[in-house]
Amino acid sequence: MTGFNEAIKKLNKEQLEAVQSIEGPVMVLAGPGTGKTQILALRIAEILNKTHVGPRNILALTFSDTGVTAMRQRLVEFIGPTAHQVEIATFHSFSNDIIATYGFAFEEFRLTNSIDTLEQYRIIEQIILSSNELKIFSKIRGENYYVKPVVNTINDAKREAVSPDQIKDFAKNMENNSNKKVDIEKFERRQKVLLDLALVFSEYNKYLQSHHLYDYGDMLLRAIELIKTNIEVKQFIQERFQYLLVDEYQDTNNAQNILIELIADFFDKPNLFVVGDDKQAIYRFQGASVENMAYFVHKYPELKIINLITNYRSNNKILQTADKSISNNALQVSKIIDSKSAKLVAINQSNETPELFILNNYDEELLKIYKIITEQKVDLNKVAILCRTNQEAKNIALTLNKLGVATQQNSQLNILNERPIQALMQIFNAVINPHDNVSMLSALRIISASDTLEVIKIADASRKNNTKIIDTALLNPKLKETALQILDYHQQSSVLNLVDLVEKIIYEGELMALLHPKAPTLQQLEVVTAFITKLKEFAFRNPNLYLKDFVSYVSSYKNYDIEFEVQLSTHRSNGVFVNTVHQAKGMEFEAVIIPSVNSKNWATKKRASSVELPSELVIKQTSPSDDLEDLRRTFYVALTRAKNKLLLTCSKTDSNNKEILPSQLVEEIINTLKVTEVQHSEEEIKNFLTLTTKQLPSDFLSQEIKDYISEKLTDFPFSFTSYWDYLNCPRTFLLQHIFNFPQPFSPTLAYGSAVHKALEQFSRLSKTHHPTKEDLLKFFIEALLIEMPFADQKYIDSGKHLLAKYHQEVLIELPPAIEVEYNFKKHIVTLGQFWLSGKVDAIELIDSKARTVKLIDYKTGSSSRSKNDILGLTQSSDGKYYAQLKFYALLAARDKNFPYKVSQYEIRFVDDKHEFKRVSFEISKEEIDRFAAELEQTLTEIVTATEFPQKDENSSIANLFPILN
């Protein structure tokens, strides 16, 4: 044990005390950089050295396979091969071992197969769709609306060891202490939601049990149940594991705590050693809770608490900044135990003050980050950019890559977001269904990359002639061969096995070269390889399934918004680490940059889940202050990753040019920071934007295509939708409005369109007759079956219920419209050189003598909106609805043939919550003139544009027809 003896000599006083305190309950408060992994391994070695127990009598639990490997490697250094006999495991692998070892003797614990996340979603969706007892979940709120929140809440319940019966009993015994109508409605809805949750949860468990299946959360719960209900099993486990160690104890959830207690409860003072830091508890969203550490303190009155205060990582000024931040948290274990020495003491003698750089806007903030990195005198792999979200990290990494800076990112990758995989899936869809316009056009665009203009022309021709893309392509000399090739693959798709067909498509069709016209990076090659590996795994498990089955399987991930993750084998160690704070936990860097520390990015987020586990049923209680304390702990973890340099950046305006302030978290530590306002020269900014602006490849916008665009724009009727699409994403405008590319089908949009059509038909009939509720419902069903010939019954039932309610509460009180679907297009309304077009849902007469009218716009959706939300004055609103009203106002004002004077503009919500708000506005001439000037400027920009970048990464049409780089 030479390694052990040498390591013991290097310990400080508190570390040595932790290693040598091997009897009774012990809690070690191990702050960042205090050497906790070393302590855990050394303590195991100390137990073996000072007691008569063997290595098999020690159990060490941690949270990740990485943690298991790190602890075992360290232990091997200290005690050699004997380290492999110590039970070091994650909570879930240990639980699985318990079930595998002892479950065979008990039929109810026999688990045959585990289910993945996708299967969990499918089972729960089927339960929701097939149940006739649900009060809330059965109502339509969009595709799979309730599935994801129900899955998440059931997973939460399992982490907290909360049963369906507990939820049901809680819901039935809820009390409402308010007489206000709005409070009564909220109370009743919450009660119904919880009763629905309990029912689905119970049915889900029954399904798993009857099929001998288990999900991720079941492993731990079944192990707990087995130990609880079988005294022999419990005694055997307690006799075997006489010493128990738990790493990262602050990250434990309720179920994990129950397991620990069951193993340790034979003695009043068990040999239970936990290591944690409540200041770094950043996994509340996974059920972890600081309250568990406080509970541990109260449970064991004779608990020995050891505080590791010597920090071997950060300099003193960084530690002072971090302590200043976290001291604002009320819930801290150090305050519960009245610790006098909770502050960390730095060994690092460097004295660099943390800095905050304030920039004018986000682009300049990115420029500053780039300059900071290039000015560092350390290796890039010793620099980290720690972000609040994955999306932020992805955007920053992309910018740095464009500037030639190598980056390290998360090795877990959702490959469905990668361009090569998106392209393959679009080709597969076309092979399965060549008559689907969206899939076929996309496949032609990818395979016939050199004939882009021809693809654009057949899209336009198909729309004008109302023909299928495949039929139009077969008539095109340049695309005919590709179309025939896809039809050939289609014929073989029901004969060839999955792997053979896919390899034929990829390699015979030379798709690898098409997916990567330029030399592919190692990661790009890995992405395709990983996808093919996943496909082969699917084929191995399902040998009788074909391409359509695999496409359906992969599409389900997207439909349910589940990440289709793969672990990339490559790990580049020579780049800047760009990732979220959570991914950086346990790591350290010479320099740390924390970007966008503003009041929008580093702020608590509203919990908007439609289904939530009652906080009363778990140890932890949630409140806005808890959310802020969680956020502050995440900020603390980010601050304490830095050794010598800690650099924060913040801009004065966001991406929409709205003013933003530094985060509250920054204001709390501002006195510990060196604050600098940075001004870049116009030349610097221009060069930076030139290098980083995302543009279409030059070969896409060839001169031939530019001429085609100009020709189309010469006599183009600009609608509000086309104008707004351009503002949000020029690429979307180009593909949808100029190239006339087809859009993917959306049941939710089809449903909304059918509601609109029903209201239109009802309004038309109201001009001459007195239509009934039955007429309205008939109009809806007819419209829905045109939009969705095989509409699910849930859409029919939901629409009938919605419109019957709307008829009863709104329509019977309204005067008949004098105009329905009034179309300005035929009147050739102009703004300068531009032709404006638009269609108003309805026009109602206000004063027949004055010819004053009200313009009506119907909006369907989940809920109504407030006036401020419509105006764009709330944080979540972009002002689209009010901009649309101003567009209509401009049309009415400039239409020489419009026979009315508009005095009011009204938005009428036909929403799922049955609020049915009607929000009216008056728009002045001055406001119309200002809007006209803005509109004309944008339209001028459109007709002179030479590039149409994709600004909206969530644009469905732009992502369906990606321009592969």
Is there a domain that residue 953 lies in?
no
Average pLDDT for residues 26-40, to the nearest whole number? 91
Rounded CA-CA distance 63/54 in Å is 24
Rounded CA-CA distance 414/527 in Å is 9
Phi, psi (deg, nearest 5) at residue 248 = 50, 50
- Judged against a pLDDT cut of 70, whether residue 411 lies above it is answered with no
Full domain range(s) for residue 172: 114-211
pLDDT of residue 209: 87
pLDDT of residue 921: 97
Whether 373 and 405 have beta carbons less than 8 Å apart is answered as yes
Residue 617 and residue 578 in one domain: yes
The position carrying tokens 């346990």 is: 586
- Judged against a pLDDT cut of 80, whether residue 283 lies above it is answered with no
Residue 552 and residue 581 in one domain: no
- Judged against a pLDDT cut of 50, whether residue 965 lies above it is answered with no
- Judged against a pLDDT cut of 60, whether residue 185 lies above it is answered with yes
Domain boundary at 242, 273, 308, which?
A: 308
Per-residue pLDDT tens digits for 837-895 = 999 999 999 999 999 999 999 999 888 899 999 998 887 788 999 999 999 999 999 99
**Secondary structure, 3-state, 382-405:** HEEEEECCHHHHHHHHHHHHHCCC
Average pLDDT for residues 808-836, to the nearest whole number? 93
- Going by their DSSP bridges, the two strands 26-30 and 901-911 should be labelled as unpaired
pLDDT of residue 964: 38
Per-residue pLDDT tens digits for 742-769 = 877 788 888 999 999 999 999 999 988 9
Residue 802 and residue 924 in one domain: yes
Contacts 24+ apart (CB under 8 A), 162-167: 162/613, 162/617, 162/618, 164/198, 164/199, 164/201, 164/202, 164/205, 165/198, 165/202, 166/617, 167/194, 167/197, 167/198, 167/201, 167/613, 167/614, 167/617
Is there a domain that residue 959 lies in?
no
The position carrying tokens 């870049």 is: 680
Instruction: Of 120-124, 242-246, 446-450, 487-491, give the lowest mean pLDDT range.
Output: 446-450
Q: Exposed, middle or buried, 597 (CB in 10 Å: 0-12/13-18/19+)?
A: buried
Is there a domain that residue 699 lies in?
no
CATH code at 258? Answer: 3.40.50.300
Residue 500 and residue 443 in one domain: yes
Residue 772 and residue 815 in one domain: yes
- Judged against a pLDDT cut of 90, whether residue 780 lies above it is answered with yes
pLDDT of residue 297: 86
Rounded CA-CA distance 732/739 in Å is 10
- Judged against a pLDDT cut of 70, whether residue 677 lies above it is answered with yes
Per-residue pLDDT tens digits for 553-610 = 998 888 888 888 776 654 556 789 999 998 888 899 999 999 999 999 999 876 556 7
pLDDT band of residue 695 (cuts 50, 70, 90) is very low
Q: Exposed, middle or buried, 312 (CB in 10 Å: 0-12/13-18/19+)?
A: middle
Residue 426 and residue 497 in one domain: yes
In sequence order, what are the residues at sequence separation of 6 or more whose Cβ sits closer than 8 angstroms to the Cβ of residue 904? 846, 853, 854, 855, 920, 921, 922
Per-residue pLDDT tens digits for 199-232 = 999 999 999 988 888 888 888 998 999 999 999 9
In sequence order, what are the residues at sequence separation of 6 or more whose Cβ sits closer than 8 angstroms to the Cβ of residue 436? 429, 430
- Judged against a pLDDT cut of 60, whether residue 282 lies above it is answered with yes
Average pLDDT for residues 931-936, to the nearest whole number? 97
- Judged against a pLDDT cut of 90, whether residue 626 lies above it is answered with no
Rounded CA-CA distance 423/528 in Å is 11
Instruction: Of 53-62, 403-412, 428-437, 877-886, give the lowest mean pLDDT range.
Output: 403-412
Residue 890 and residue 753 in one domain: yes
The position carrying tokens 């399987």 is: 553
- Judged against a pLDDT cut of 60, whether residue 340 lies above it is answered with no
Is there a domain that residue 964 lies in?
no
- Judged against a pLDDT cut of 80, whether residue 681 lies above it is answered with yes
**DSSP code string of 712-744:** HHHT-EE-HHHHHHHHH-HHHHIIIIIS-PPPP
Instruction: Of 266-270, 506-510, 564-568, give the lowest mean pLDDT range.
Output: 506-510
**C-alpha angle 722/723/724, rounded to 5°?**
95
Rounded CA-CA distance 560/380 in Å is 38
Overall domain count for the chain: 5
Residue 86 and residue 179 in one domain: no
**Torsion over CA of 462, 468, 469 and 474, rounded to 10 degrees?**
-110
Residue 501 and residue 608 in one domain: no
- Going by their DSSP bridges, the two strands 901-911 and 355-359 should be labelled as unpaired
Is there a domain that residue 403 lies in?
yes
pLDDT band of residue 697 (cuts 50, 70, 90) is very low
Residue 872 and residue 817 in one domain: yes
pLDDT of residue 532: 84
Residue 368 and residue 255 in one domain: no
Instruction: Of 280-289, 539-548, 952-961, give the lowest mean pLDDT range.
Output: 280-289
Is there a domain that residue 42 lies in?
yes
Please give the radius of gyration of the chain, using alpha carbons only, rounded to the nearest integer.
Answer: 32
Is there a domain that residue 422 lies in?
yes
Instruction: Of 229-238, 355-364, 689-698, 921-930, give the lowest mean pLDDT range.
Output: 689-698
pLDDT of residue 694: 52
Domain boundary at 511, 542, 565, which?
A: 565
| pTM more than 0.85 | no
Q: What is the mean pLDDT of the chain?
A: 87
**Token couple for 779:** 């109009």
pLDDT of residue 570: 47
Domain boundary at 211, 237, 258, which?
A: 211
pLDDT band of residue 540 (cuts 50, 70, 90) is confident
Residue 559 and residue 580 in one domain: no
Is there a domain that residue 382 lies in?
yes
**Token couple for 791:** 């509409």
Q: Nearest to residue 639, comparing CAs of 579, 589, 574, 677? A: 589
Q: Nearest to residue 879, comparing CAs of 945, 948, 836, 927? A: 927
Average pLDDT for residues 48-55, to the nearest whole number? 94
Average pLDDT for residues 513-533, to the nearest whole number? 66
Q: Exposed, middle or buried, 118 (CB in 10 Å: 0-12/13-18/19+)?
A: middle
Instruction: Of 45-54, 55-64, 602-611, give the lowest mean pLDDT range.
Output: 602-611
Rounded CA-CA distance 508/494 in Å is 18
Per-residue pLDDT tens digits for 900-927 = 999 999 999 999 888 999 999 999 999 9
- In the 8-state DSSP scheme, what is residue 586? T
Rounded CA-CA distance 752/327 in Å is 51
